[in-house]
Structure 1
Amino acid sequence: MMHRKEYPRPQLVRKEWQNLNGTWQFNFDDQNEGTKQKWYKENTKTFDKEINVPFAYQTQLSGIADPTFHDVVWYKREFSVPENWSGQRVILHFGAVDYRAWVYINEKFVGFHEGGNTSFSFDITDHLTEGTQTIVVKVEDPSTDETIPRGKQYWIEESDGIWYTRTTGIWQTVWLEAVHSVHLSKLRFTPDVDRGEIGVEFELTEQANDVDVQFEIVFKGERIVKDIVSTHEAFNRRTFNLYNHKIFRTGFHHDGWNWTPENPNLFDVKIKVIQNNHVIDEIESYFGMRKVHSENGMIYLNNRPYYQKLVLDQGYWPEGLLTAPSDQDLIKDIELSKELGFNGCRKHQKVEDPRFLYWADQLGFLVWGECAASPSFSENAVARLTKEWIEIIERDYNHPSVVAWVPLNESWGVPNIRDNHQQQHHSLAMYHLIHSLDSTRLVVSNDGWELTKTDICAVHNYNHGNKDEIAKYEKYKEDISTVDGILSSKPARRSIYANGFNYEGEPILLTEFGGIGFKVGEDSGWGYTSVNNAEEFIADYDRIMQAVYSSKALFGYCYTQLTDVEQEINGLLTYDRKPKCELKQIKKINDMWHPGVI
């Protein structure tokens, strides 16, 4: 049986941990009677199914593969705590559970979490008993509620159009770790490329006057920093200068230590929490020195103009839906994207597994982080999306690969944003909220059109037509060729900016286009245009990219899309990641010169 075995939190690694993935008992609760009947207690309910965690019951890899609506489900399994964990606190972690979760240990309620995209944890120490332990999880995922952040998960049973099969329940790793009562609970790295400094914020679970925190920072095998911080409060800040080290003062070119897709340099960090000369907590982490800003209509990476060539990546797999079958599958998607000539991706309508971001950091791959949207607007939808974004940034802040955040897409969840002040305020609130939590990245207010305040003018336009629609193609070239042409265009009959908002000189990127439909094998479905064979596919890709590269206004793009997904056959790869043509031919086109080269 395949299950996810790798360490699930690569930005804060401890040695003492236990993976709880694998076979769990499982049951549907279509009448929502489990809580009243106390299914979390022994001998009150026989769970009649088994499921392979962390795969949702809708997936093949779960062992159930049932795509129908079941809004309430229950999980159960037994586990043992290693003897050498005695005297330590035991933390139970969930990578992600869609959408609401109630957790019980040995018949006792330990906590609740709402939000399907982010991780959460509970200290279960005081609920543990001698011998075998029992964990029960109740999950509620309202299939038809359009006010929860559901992204591409369809609220109708059959997938259709741009909407796909739902993911209900546990879809990322469940695991335990053992920690001292005083341990590191928060760690943020903020690089300052201009000063050559790394700012560190860290928090301990308890305030303790007799605790020191030792930092050791290593770059390419060379120790750069070894310092001890004496703590007097739970929350602490410290800044370390890196570039004063001798290896950086000997003519070492700055590209040799900054993080870029071409040179994904990372600094390794070891942190020890020391009390009375004893190490009570020890973690490993890493960071990258990376700066992103915009200037003169261009995006800069480490103070140099950087033309982004992104691919839309929805992060679905045939056997696992939102859950990659293995860590290698995450690596493969990044390697194939780079082989195609892309330097990054926009993770579309999904908060991706931290393991993907880890490999993007390691392999050198830009990521625009996006969250699942709510289809409808309501005050509840606003609150839910806001909560999830706070947790997203808390979890993913340290990844150097993430260079932009996208809180809204194509006016989903804000359908009247063009002239509705309440929905405009929601967009503005998300923009400013994210900047208040993260000053190191760009924020796109409403990717596609009807933008409010934004750091990137992100435009979606699929109006390039088929190869024989010459007039349509010429109009497309004209619309994207100049700033005025883009701003006056109305792709999907939507204005680029919402009423009351205007272009303020921000970089313009074409962040959805293409979507060439190409049927391979027995697949069937749709695309925005269509071709019949690999030769036509390459020619049509070249035709569309010629229009993009001839633009004097664009400073980057995001092509739709990396893979086919369910009924969509508009990927560069099939759903099972088979190339539809020679990858080097696409790379050759993506490598063409363009006006964004400085």
Structure 2
Amino acid sequence: MEESIMEYPRPHFDRSHSWSSLNGEWDFRADTEPGWNRTITVPFAWETPASGIEAHWLPVAWYRRLVTVPAGWAGQRVVLHFGAVHHEATVWVNDVEVVKHRGGYTPFEADITDALRGEGPQEVVVRVCAPLDKRELAHGKQRSIPRDDYDGVCFTPSSGIWQSVWLEARPATYVAGLKLRPSAGLDAIEVEARVAGPSESVLHLTLRGTDTTVEVPAVEGVARAVLPVAGPRLWSPDDPHLYHVDARLTSADGTDEVAAYTGLRRVEVIGEDLYLNGRRLFVRGVLDQGYWPRTGITAPDDAALRRDIELAAAAGYNLVRKHLKLEDPRFVHHADVLGMLVWAEPASTGRFSAESVTAFEEQIAPMVERDGDSPAIVIWGLYNEEWGLDWDIPGDPAKQQATARAYELLKALDPSRPAVDNSGWTHVKTDLLDWHYYDESAASWGRTVAALMDGEQDDFPVRLGPDYVVRKKLAGSPSQPLRGLPNLNSEYGGGFTCVERAWHLRWQTQELRRHDRLAGYVYTEMYDIEHESAGLLDFERRAKDLAGVNPADVNATTTLVLDVVPVAPGRDLLSESREVTVPVRVSHHGSEPVNGHLHTAWTPVFGPAPDAFGAAGPWIEAKPFLLSGPAEVGAALPAGWTSGRLHIALVSDGEIVARSAVDVDTHTAPVIGDDPAA
């Protein structure tokens, strides 16, 4: 775990030339214990094996460590940084209280210079309060006692210091924030620096690797400038090019140096479509909740953050929805570097009250401040499924107002990205009309999606408990329009075994691809977590038995849509004879049209796609973002076979550009529990 200890924790606001990590072993004791009788490994929550503590339902605990300030920092201010501590932290240095912070997912700092004593070791003590009752706190998926309404999808709490701790040195007059945004024309970087301290100062900005420099004085704590970019290279998933800006602030107190970066890219809502850099964007997303088996909500090392993004990309996804968690900033950094789009959102609360609304809103500004420079983040989320709003936005004007206010707070800070007010349903004020729909029947899934997309209905069933199903409307107030905004299904999936889940992944995703109105989807989810076995991978990020389904084919830029209502896993299509005919369409989200011949091949049921296909079949072509008309593919089961998987591939210029499959069964007896007409 040494790598996570040594990686600089704040890559979007980089003062790594002058920092010292405080991760590692700290003294530890519960509030009821008389002495420092244990050690804990920071930054892992005290519930986790990686911490060395594994204490559960511990409401208050203490940390202690002796730290040495580097001798080369003499004459500068020494600042103590915490990436995140759940939930309320009070910090003393040499018995002097230096900071108190509330909020388990947001960073905080303290200038500890005046509390230091001499040149020897300095004592840092942290008291952490992690209430068992988290319902009015921003806690996301951490379990609470008493329980949240959504406790069935919650996990082990993660209390205490769970992100990096470190020291930095800076002058008394310093850069406190550095906001970078692409210009409207995507040919310059607009810079806004916040400056703090007693002295007049001048900000020198350099676009790294170029001769572009700007010098601007700080006026009333702010310095603004524009850095033109010659021959701009736009950031996109295909070319995640980053521009680094070096900032040097000079004053009578000395020189402060900070580095930051961003990408030149623009994300827009135009009518019912999303656009990235002027090109239509179809979101192929996956839910990522940011949990690991032995380390909780802290990644085991920096490589694990990068690996999760690589796994999502390998499964064909172009976006990760980091669910109800302000993830470690290095995750966002890796997304920037690798070209993975991100939907970012704060942690949820558990019930509605003035206190919970305040706790939720307190996350919004730090979220934008910390991660707003990231080109990878293209969507901001806020509330989720009325959690913390008692599942009752339509019935309470106060909850409608809280939802709208969260949206307004966010958009005032960052109007450059679309924002979702309450993901899932009952929207009040939103840029994206997203919905969460789970259904174990492939037939009713397809019908409901079609009805939502065609405008025949504006509500759908949601199971809020084992025997409690309600119909949730897309709009939570009369003022929310149901047309003119992009539609996204931002949670879906089904099945209780990995084979069933792969089956639903394939057929439900193809039904989403059938509808040209849809702006994208987010599948639930990338990997299992504790008791929740809904992942494409297990909790250790290992492959599962997906019965021959390759998620990369399901989520490809070009996919095949079969006009089949599947019956059950292994029995998609029931036939009275060995000969079958399957109408095939093409969903294509590339920039140019695609065409080619459809080819077929047989394997046993659940068999993976073969390397070789048969002779060319019918010709088919598709335009970007328009579902093609059908081409009929005919095939006969091999002699002696009573069932098999018919693989269908679109081959263009000798290359396979899309695949799908259908399991054919000539045993046409009804399947118990399946009703494709239901």
TM-score, with structure 1 as normaliser:
0.88
- Where do 1:533-544 residues align within 5 Å? 533=499, 538-544=502-508
CA contact (8 A) 2:133 2:146 kept: no
Counterpart amino acid of residue 170 in structure 2: V
Counterpart amino acid of residue 24 in structure 1: W
* 2:455 is equivalent to residue 484 of structure 1: yes
Which of 207, 217, 222 pairs up with 2:207? 217
* 2:191 is equivalent to residue 180 of structure 1: no
1: CA distance, partners of 2:521 / 2:456: 17
**Deviation sequence 1:31-56 (CA, Å, 0-9, x none):** xxx9xxxxxxxxxx521111000001
Which of 398, 418, 422 pairs up with 2:394? 418
Aligned residue number for residue 6 of structure 2: 5
CA drift at 1:262: 1.3
CA contact (8 A) 1:551 1:595 kept: no
- Where do 1:410-559 residues align within 5 Å? 410-415=385-390, 416-463=392-439, 465=440, 469=441, 471-480=443-452, 482-485=453-456, 487-492=458-463, 493-500=471-478, 501-514=480-493, 528-531=494-497, 533=499, 538-559=502-523
CA contact (8 A) 1:272 1:279 kept: no
1: CA distance, partners of 2:450 / 2:22: 56
Aligned residue number for residue 64 of structure 2: 76
Q: Structure 1's 512 and 232: CA in aligned 2 closer, same or farther, altered over 3 A?
A: closer
1: CA distance, partners of 2:105 / 2:191: 26
2: CA distance, partners of 1:499 / 1:103: 44
Aligned residue number for residue 43 of structure 2: 54
Aligned residue number for residue 64 of structure 1: 53
2: CA distance, partners of 1:343 / 1:561: 14
2: CA distance, partners of 1:110 / 1:376: 32
- Where do 1:80-119 residues align within 5 Å? 80-119=68-107
Gaps of 5+ in 1: 35-44, 249-253, 515-527
* 2:122 is equivalent to residue 133 of structure 1: yes
Identity score, percent: 34
Aligned residue number for residue 551 of structure 2: 586
Task: Specify the structure having the higher radius of gyration (Cα).
Answer: 2
CA contact (8 A) 1:208 1:233 kept: no
Aligned residue number for residue 42 of structure 1: none
CA drift at 1:428: 0.4
Aligned residue number for residue 234 of structure 1: 221
1: CA distance, partners of 2:211 / 2:357: 44
Counterpart amino acid of residue 63 in structure 1: G
Which of 370, 388, 404 pairs up with 2:363? 388
- Where do 1:81-480 residues align within 5 Å? 81-130=69-118, 131-156=120-145, 161-194=152-185, 196-206=187-197, 208-209=199-200, 211-218=201-208, 222-223=209-210, 225-242=212-229, 245=230, 248=231, 257-275=233-251, 280-415=255-390, 416-463=392-439, 465=440, 469=441, 471-480=443-452
1: CA distance, partners of 2:339 / 2:457: 31
Gaps of 5+ in 2: 464-470, 560-586, 590-623, 626-678
Counterpart amino acid of residue 373 in structure 1: S
Q: Structure 1's 195 and 81: CA in aligned 2 closer, same or farther, altered over 3 A?
A: closer
**Deviation sequence 1:391-434 (CA, Å, 0-9, x none):** 11111111111111111000101122112100000000001110
Q: Structure 1's 86 and 279: CA in aligned 2 closer, same or farther, altered over 3 A?
A: closer
**Deviation sequence 1:298-353 (CA, Å, 0-9, x none):** 01111221101110000000011100010000000001100111011111111101
**Deviation sequence 1:85-135 (CA, Å, 0-9, x none):** 111100000000011000000011111000011100000000000211000
CA contact (8 A) 1:207 1:232 kept: no
Secondary structure of the structure 1 residue equivalent to 2:496: strand
CA drift at 1:160: 6.3
TM-score, with structure 2 as normaliser:
0.77
Secondary structure of the structure 2 residue equivalent to 1:61: helix
Which 10-residue stretch deviates more, 124-133 or 232-241? 232-241
CA drift at 1:289: 0.8
Aligned residue number for residue 537 of structure 2: 573
Q: Structure 1's 474 and 387: CA in aligned 2 closer, same or farther, altered over 3 A?
A: closer
CA contact (8 A) 1:550 1:595 kept: no
* 2:53 is equivalent to residue 24 of structure 1: no
Secondary structure of the structure 2 residue equivalent to 1:489: strand
1: CA distance, partners of 2:549 / 2:315: 6
Higher relative contact order structure (alpha carbons within 8 Å, sequence separation ≥ 6):
1
CA drift at 1:456: 0.2
Secondary structure of the structure 2 residue equivalent to 1:181: coil
**Structure with higher strand content:** 2
CA drift at 1:82: 1.1
Count the aligned residue pairs.
Answer: 548
